[in-house]
Amino acid sequence: NMAPHNLSETCDALCALIDDPELEPLKLIDYIQGPDFPTGGYIIGKQGIRDYFQTGYGKIINRGKASIETKNNGQESIIVTELPYQLNKTLLIDKIVALVKDKRIEGISDIRDESGRQGMRLVITVKRNADADSVLKKLYKYSQLQVSYVINNRALVGGIPQVINMKDLLQNYIDFRHEVVVRRTQFELDNAEKRLHILEGFRIALDNIDEIIAIIKASDSTQNANENLQKKFGFTGIQAKAILEMRLQKLTGLEREKIELEYRDLVKRVEELKSILEIREKRMQIIKDEVIKMKEKYIDDRRTTILDGSADIETEDMIADEEMVVTISHEGYIKRLPIRTYRKQQRGGKGLSGSNLKEEDFIENVFVASTHAFILFFTDLGQCHWLKVHRIPKVGRLARGKAIVNLLQLERNERIKAYVTVRDFELPNFVTIVTKNGIIKKTELAAFSHPRVGGIIAIKLIEGDELIDARITEGDNDIILATKNGFGNRFHETDVRPQGRNSQGVIGIRLRNADETVSMVIVKREGTLLSISENGYGKRTPIADYRVTKRGSMGVITMKTTKRNGNLVSVQEVVDDDDLIIITTSGKVIRQHVGSISVISRNTQG
């Protein structure tokens, strides 16, 4: 039960083994990744590959290629485009239907075969109240969409059945090709020597053509002429016969030159063939050259993808690592879209419709994160919830998305206020939190690495206060807190000592009457501070214009808030090369280049 392999990779391995016959079996993995099935799919884990490379026997997990698609109306479907090796599509469909009837898999409403000229496409429609990830995992567990494939490299070696490792398998092929080269060369040499023998007779005959013609004319039969030529010139029977059969046109000067040229070429070829038979290195080079030509002629891309991990691999290992724009609406609907969906526009552009929300709903949060990252959601009640980006529904641009309460267990009046994206909780970073009343607190990132279903405490709030922002900091950054009346306070992060999750924090900015904190900036690039008001006015100010003060100061003016531009709603640290995405309460999205926004002083409206 041998597995097929990629021809290009196999040719590379053969060349490597020819160059180094002492190559270890496991070193061949540098050239042959593993089996390459014509049906594509995935191979989960590499231990089985290492086993049969070393011993000739191993078990691998072969999984079909499937992805989850979400329509604009939120309907999810599982799309199967590649099957495990030797699996019949009709048998898979019958098995899935049986599993649904037996209620071993729930959540499937329909299955359609949409295969055609574009390739295989099996569409499994998931019920609206079911999770497509869970359904897909059950399909892997209960159906043939994931199978075990046992590799047993049993072959006849010297007429005896043996289980051989990959090195011995390739070496046997090399030995076979070596025997072919030897036999072929010997055969060619024998034919060349026979022809050379006849040409030697032709050369003698052409030099004595008049005498030979006289002998032939004087002979009373062909047999007598043959014997007379052998006696006179010492020809062999083969040479004498060839001379008697030679046409008169061979006597022309041009034909004489052709015979002489063929003779010289054959002498060289015979020497070359004898050299090949005498020197093993030349024979091995011939084998290598033929392998390279075979690769060039039949080169083919690998079809089967090999993934690290075990058979219970997470779904994210089959999801492309790409940047996504994640949006959360005021009423708690969340979705993600590839960032390429939004094209750049010039400052003042009308934007692109980014969501089709109800009249009373609007986009409240928008950020960019990788599909392989984790998101820590911080709510106004000071709680932290944990979610992987790829589990957020990927829907159409105009779709509302999915209610976040179906993904996170939030309280009835609890709202998402901030988020941070994390890929490694072991980094020596902090989560820095700020509240509406100007309180700031920082906690080690590792303290948030073990979430609970109902969330964990991020900050202990006093009555009337609420969490408004949270950011990842490195322990030595500058922090700017901004208020809705347009004031900002810059201080060093070291002024804030680390505290546990269940603590209140310390004062970050002292608020004036009827004021509240609206935003926090972690200074990392010393660029410009982008300020945006509620009426859509914005400006950039050099961060250097904000002198470093102490934690707890009242701050300086960062934007004049008037009836024209309204209150300050957000500040961000930006540089000229950044892109900016703004979403209005009506759902309009505009993406523009930061460099197109004017840089002016602090004490201005924008």
Q: Is it the case that residue 38 has pLDDT exceeding 90?
A: yes
pLDDT attached to residue 316: 56
Mean pLDDT, residues 182-191 = 95
pLDDT attached to residue 96: 93
Parallel, antiparallel, or unpaired for β 588-593 and 456-457?
Answer: unpaired
Q: Is it the case that residue 176 has pLDDT exceeding 90?
A: yes
Q: Is it the case that residue 314 has pLDDT exceeding 90?
A: no
Give residue limits of the domains in the chain: 65-144, 193-284, 319-596
Q: Is it the case that residue 349 has pLDDT exceeding 70?
A: no
pLDDT attached to residue 440: 94
Q: Is it the case that residue 357 has pLDDT exceeding 70?
A: no
On whether the 65-144 domain is CATH 3.30.450.20, my answer is no
Parallel, antiparallel, or unpaired for β 517-523 and 478-483?
Answer: antiparallel
* pLDDT tens for each residue of 542-596: 998 898 999 999 989 998 888 888 999 999 999 888 888 777 766 676 778 888 8
Fold of 319-596: Neuraminidase (2.120.10)
CATH of 193-284 among 3.90.79.10, 1.10.10.60, 1.20.1630.10, 1.10.268.10: 1.10.268.10
Share of the chain above pLDDT 90, in %: 48
Q: Is it the case that residue 315 has pLDDT exceeding 60?
A: no
- Pairwise CA distance, residues 147 & 561, whole Å: 65
Alpha helices in 102-236 (DSSP H): 132-142, 166-207, 209-218, 222-233
pLDDT attached to residue 416: 85
More confident residue, 179 or 364: 179
Mean pLDDT, residues 192-206 = 89
pLDDT attached to residue 271: 94
Q: Is it the case that residue 320 has pLDDT exceeding 70?
A: no
- Pairwise CA distance, residues 419 & 376, whole Å: 5
* pLDDT tens for each residue of 59-76: 999 999 999 998 888 788
Q: Which of 9-23, 309-323, 376-390, 425-439 has the lowest mean pLDDT?
A: 309-323
pLDDT attached to residue 313: 46
* pLDDT tens for each residue of 444-503: 999 998 878 778 999 999 999 999 999 999 988 999 999 999 999 999 999 999 999 899
Q: Is it the case that residue 319 has pLDDT exceeding 70?
A: no
pLDDT attached to residue 360: 56
Parallel, antiparallel, or unpaired for β 42-44 and 305-307?
Answer: parallel
**CB-based contact 31:179 (threshold 8 Å):** no
Mean pLDDT, residues 527-554 = 90
DSSP per residue over 262-274, as a string?
A: HHHHHHHHHHHHH
Mean pLDDT of all residues in the chain? Answer: 87
* pLDDT tens for each residue of 126-164: 988 777 887 888 899 889 999 999 999 999 998 899 999
* pLDDT tens for each residue of 229-261: 888 888 898 988 888 888 776 666 667 888 889
Query: What distance, in Å, lies between the first and last C-alpha atoms of the chain?
Result: 73
Q: How far out from the chain centre does Cα 18 lie? A: 32
pLDDT attached to residue 356: 55
